[in-house]
Amino acid sequence: MTVPATDQIRAIRSEIDAAAEAILGSATEALQIVSALRGESALITRLQQTLRTVLEACAFHDLVCQRLDILDGAQQADDLLNGPAALGQGLDQAAADRLFEDLGGR
C-alpha cells in the first residue's frame, strides 16, 4: 500500500517541526547556561557565538515548511485534476469539500 504524497508531506513537516523545536530549545537553554556563567572569557564568547549560529541556522525550518506547503497544495490540486474516479475510488464529496476548504484557507 502506498502512502499518498500529502500524507508523506505532513509526516515530513511533523518530523521537521519536532527537530527544529528540539534544536531551538536546546540551543536557547545552552545560551542561558552560558550567560549564567557571567564570564567574558574568549571561550564563553565563542560558545555564545556558536549557539547563536545554531539558532540562526534553524531558519531552515521556515523555508522547508513553506516549500512543503507549496508541494502539499500542488498535490491536493493535482488530485482534483485526475477526472472522474471509478466507483469506490478517488475522493468522496466530503473529502473534496475538505480539500477545497484547506486550499481556500491559505
Residues 11-42 pLDDT 10s: 888 888 888 889 888 888 888 888 888 766 88
Q: Which residues contact 58 (CB under 8 A, 6 or more apart)?
A: 20, 23, 24, 27
pLDDT band at 77; cut points 50, 70, 90:
low
The count of domains in the chain is: 1
The Cα 34–Cα 56 span in angstroms is 17
pTM above 0.75, yes or no: no
Q: What is the domain extent for residue 22? A: 5-104
